[in-house]
Every structure is written in structure tokens, then in C-alpha cells.
Amino acid sequence: MKKHSARVAPLSSYSTQVLTCPISEGEDGSESHGDTAGSETSGENRFYQTCANAVLKVLGGLLVVLCVSSSWMGTTQLVKLTFQSFSCPFFISWFSSNWNILFFPIYYSVHVMTTQEKQTPIQKFRECSKLFGEDGMTLKLFVKRTAPFSILWTLTNYLYLLALKKLTATDVSALYCCHKAFVFLLSWIVLKDRFMGVRIVAAIMAITGIVMMAYADGFHGDSFVGVALAVGSASTSALYKVLFKMFLGSANLGEVAHFLSTMGFFNLILISFVSLILYFTKVEHWGSLSSLPWGYLCGLAGLWLVFNILVHVGVVLTYPILISIGTLLSVPGNAAVDVLKHEVIFSVVRLAATCIICLGFLLLLLPEEWDSVTLRFLATIADKKTEEHGEELTESSVHTRSRSRANGTVSIPLA
């Protein structure tokens, strides 16, 4: 009996453990299963949200690129159409620049619709006028800050329009892309930006393309003059952008809209005298106001305004590289229109010059850390290949040893 009682006692205690343990384990297991399911659901939601944000960002970038290229290409082609009935480039430039006054009203309208902040236009205008100083905008600061930019703006547009009278839209748009190389050179000299060898190569390619474009029809006639005018437009545009970055680089979107509207107002008040002088000296004869092609002029000014809004606002809201790619894509767009509609035949030299300029433009879009990123990428690929090669050697050695053991011999691999 003592032996039987000694045998029964452990079994009863063991059965108690068996009965109680599964219950606790079942409860804990259900809780852990619920936590796992919840974490998996939240992880899937984060993944889908990340994918959706990436897709929206890509689609938004493509839309910006398409709008920039379409507006710039449409502006160039409308200028060519306007010249057929109205050949007054300075008046067209002055009329289009006056539309910059609409920058701040458009910004304020979007600002009111997208925010709950209630400010009158005057209050918002005074807030954004701090760009000119703590005391706001005065007459002296208005002339001092606005006059240089307005003059460079007018020269850029006027020289671009003059070049379109001498060359095709494709040639002028390609030569205008050289402004990116000039911006790099001026930024390196004036703003002390980082020196990059690849950008020097791109600048040399841009200069080579300019020389080839001028050589296409010989260094004489309208072709050479048109190339010089287009390069002059690219140079003044580069100087404008470097000065804009120097003095207004830290400005927010409202201050940029304020500054561009102020520049449009300066153009309307003071640059008008230049247009009147050209009219009375009969350098540019407008005729009667009713005879002006207002449809072409308003369409041209509207497209130019859209392009300038995308360039200045897009740099603040999106990636600047998208604006540059959109400007570059206007070159093949203009080429397609020139070939299909105007039946322009491009020579081999012009095509080679255009391709060289576009390739140099693409090299200028490389980020500053592209060399270190490329080296890290190549090092990662080399490490993966080394690991794969080591695994292959290990597998081959194991296979060789297994075969040698099966044959009764031992083989030592040499590598």
C-alpha cells in the first residue's frame, strides 16, 4: 500500500499541472495572436500608405514636368506665330512681363482657399514685404532691389524673342538650355559653390554645342547673329538666377510672389518708356490697337505666366530637377513641331550640336554627391559578387570532398 500511495501521489500532481497549464497557454496564445494580427494589419496599412505616397509623388512630378515642357514649348511656338503678323519683340516682351503683377493675387487666392488664416490682402502684402527689410518696402528699396532684376528679366525675354526671328524654335530652345552651364560657372565663381569636374565637362560640352551651332551655316549671316542672341539670353537668365539665389535664396513662397508682382509693376511703370521710345522712333510700329493680334498676345502672355509660376513656385514646392527636365523636354517637342508643321530640315551639324548641348544639360543635373553615391553602389555590387563567389567555392569544395570520400580518396582544392 505504501508503494501504491507513493506511485499515485506524483501522478495526481502531474495531472494538475497538465490541466492548468493548457488554459494559461491558450489565453496567452490568443493575446499574442491578436497582437500579431494587429501588427501585421498596421504594417500592411503603412506599406500601402507608403506606396500610395510614392505613386502620388511620381505622378505629381510627371505632371509638373509635362506642364513645364508644354508651357515653354507653347510659348516658343506662339511667338513664331505672332511674328507672322506682328513683329515687335520688345512690345511682346513688355506686354508679357506686365502679367507678372498677377503673381501675388494668384498666390493670395490659393492661400485663402487652402488655409484657415484670415488676413486681408493688404495685411498679407505687408507681411510678405519684409523681404525688402524690417521696415517694409520703401521707394529706395523698391528701385534698388527691383530695377536690376527687372532689367535682366527684360533683356532675357527680348534677346530670346530676337533669336526666334533668326533661328528655328528648336535651335533657340536648345541654345537656351546652356543657361544651366552658365549658372554653374557663375555660382562657382560668385557664390563659391562646390567644384565638380563633371559640371566643368558639361560646360565645355555646352560651349562646344554653341560653336557647332554657329558653324552650321558658317560664321556669317542670320544664323550667327541668332546664335549670339540666344546665348546672350541664356547668359542674362543665368545672371538673374544667380542674383536671385544670392539675395532671395531664403525667401518663402509668399515673398517670392510679392517680389515678382513688384517686378511686374516696375516693368509696367518704368520699362514702358523704352517701349514708347521704340514706337516714336519707328523701330517698332504697332499700328492701331484694334489691329493688334490680341488673341496671340494674351495666349502668349498667359503661357509665359504659367511657365514662370511653375519655375519659381515649383522650385519651392517640388524638386528643382523636375523643372530642369521639363525645360529640356521642350527641345524635342519643338523639334517635332518644326518637322511636322513647318517642314524644317535639320543638318547633321545642328543635330549633333543639339544632342551635345542636351547631354551637357543632363550632366549638370547630377547631384553634388553623385560620385560618392556611385562609388558606394559599385562597392556594394563588388561585395555581393565576392560573397556569391565565396559561396560557390564553398559549395564546390563540399561537393568535391563528398565525391572524393565516395571514391575513397581525399582531394584538396587549390583555391
Mean pLDDT by runs of 10 across the 415 residues of the chain is 41 38 45 53 72 75 87 93 91 93 90 81 83 72 85 94 92 91 86 79 88 76 86 93 81 85 90 90 84 91 92 74 87 91 84 90 78 69 69 57 47 36
Q: What is the pLDDT of residue 410?
A: 41
Torsion of CA 224, 229, 230, 235, to 10 degrees: 130
Q: Which residue reads 560651349 in cell numbers?
A: 207
Distances (CA, A) of 154 to 90, 134, 414: 8, 29, 75
Number of Cβ within 10 Å of residue 62's Cβ equals 13
Q: Which residue reads 536690376 in cell numbers?
A: 148
Q: What is the pLDDT of residue 313?
A: 76
Residue 252 burial (C-beta neighbours within 10 Å; 0-12, 13-18, 19+):
exposed
Q: What is the pLDDT of residue 234?
A: 93
Q: What is the pLDDT of residue 31?
A: 47
Beta-carbon contacts of residue 370 (< 8 Å; ≥ 6 apart)? 198
Distances (CA, A) of 75 to 67, 72, 147, 302, 309: 12, 5, 25, 9, 14
DSSP state of 195: P
Q: What is the pLDDT of residue 261?
A: 92
Q: What is the pLDDT of residue 219?
A: 64
Q: What is the pLDDT of residue 35?
A: 53
Q: What is the pLDDT of residue 372?
A: 63
Amino acid (1-letter code) at residue 243: L
Q: Which residue reads 514708347 in cell numbers?
A: 276
Q: How many residues are listed for the chain in this entry?
A: 415
Distance, in Å, from the CA atom of 382 to the CA atom of 276, rounded to the nearest integer, reads 68
DSSP string, 4-51: HHHHHHHHHHHHHHHHHHHHHHHHHHHHHHHHHHHHHHHHHHHHHHHH
Distance, in Å, from the CA atom of 143 to the CA atom of 140, rounded to the nearest integer, reads 5
Distance, in Å, from the CA atom of 261 to the CA atom of 268, rounded to the nearest integer, reads 11
Q: What is the pLDDT of residue 48?
A: 76
Q: What is the pLDDT of residue 412?
A: 34
Q: What is the pLDDT of residue 113?
A: 86
The verdict on pTM exceeding 0.85 is no
Q: How many CA atoms does the CB half-sphere of 353 hold within 13 Å?
A: 25
Say what angle helices 348-364 and 169-176 make with each other, to 10 degrees: 30
Reference 252, options 317, 183, 299, 159; nearest CA is: 317
Q: What is the pLDDT of residue 248?
A: 75
